[in-house]
Amino acid sequence: MKKIQLNSIASSCSLSGQRLDLVLSKLFREYSRSYLKKLIIMNQVLVNESIVNQPDKKILGGEILTIHPFSKDLLVDIPENIFLDIVYEDSDILIINKPAGLVVHPGSGNKSGTILNALLYHYKNSKDLPRAGIVHRLDKDTSGLMVIAKNIFSYNHLLLLLKEKKIIREYEGIVHGKMIAGGTINKPIMRHYNRRTCMMVHHLGKPSVTHYKVLSRFKFHTHIAIRLETGRTHQIRVHMLHIKYPLVGDPCYSGFKIQSNYRKDKKTNKIYKFPRQALHANHLSLHHPIKKNVMSWTVPLPQDIQELLLKI
């Protein structure tokens, strides 16, 4: 198998002093930063014809950067015959309704059985796309709508729409506590100091904005609609905890001390033990990358959250 080589020159002054993985993501925009970081670690990146395997190496400017994106050693993700609930499909995009419990792409602790593995099986051309065409992700235990690109033009266009906040993503969730009204949470988010699999609100984090409104109120809970303006990891879950209305069933951000009257109610105590975060991506809207028309999709709440609403 012949190794493919791509070259570029870090000629822009704005790249001086930046990390190698970040510079590569700006020069080779057809690949994700995480994919390029993987190439660096696996000795597939050269700086001035010398292998560099440190993603945080600083670039001075003027270097010749070389990547080998299709090395045989990198083909670690295998196709798997996993069912995809397809809501819409054409030659450019794919809209799926992800069930809770399904991981989006392989990572630590989830080497297979993911949406990425399913895409590699059902769509042969996805192997040539960054992340098999996955544009954004949902947490493992969050259900709902995702858009996936089927070619590199659609992938780049959807990434641009996402960056420009032109993909509308709306959710429904059930939180602990009785909200008075909706609002907007504008608090930066970063990785947690100690719990590295979790995130936290912190002034040094990345800008994060979440809008929410009340759909219905119950004795101890509130059914809310949420719209993301940004898309940080665990954003909704972190923001809901921050305003002291954590999502029901959230294993990482419950932060909920059961009040005495709540604890005495056997019915609501069972709700507290709901096995996943009660969060569902119910609506998605975007400009089609080729047709340019606005397209929207809405899916109902999954059965487990519908049943939860009947219990509260």
- Catalytic (active-site) positions: 139
Do 206 and 188 form a contact (C-beta atoms < 8 A)?
yes
Q: What residues form DSSP beta bridges with 296?
A: 285
Name which of 184, 164, 168, 176 is nearest 281 in CA terms. Answer: 168
Q: Are strands 143-149 and 221-228 parallel, antiparallel or unpaired?
A: unpaired
Q: Report the Cα 271 to chain-centroid distance in Å.
A: 27
Q: Is residue 202 a contact partner of residue 151, using CB atoms and an 8 Å limit?
A: no
Sheet holding 6-9, edge to edge: 6-9, 64-67, 45-47, 50-51
| Region of residue 271 (phi > 0: left; psi between -120 and 50: alpha; otherwise: beta) | alpha
Instruction: Please check whether residue 220 is in contact with residue 176, taking contact to mean a CB–CB distance below 8 angstroms.
Output: yes
Contact 212, 226 (CB under 8 A): yes
* Helix/strand number for the chain, H first, E second: 8, 17
Q: How far apart are CA 142 and CA 173, in angstroms?
A: 10
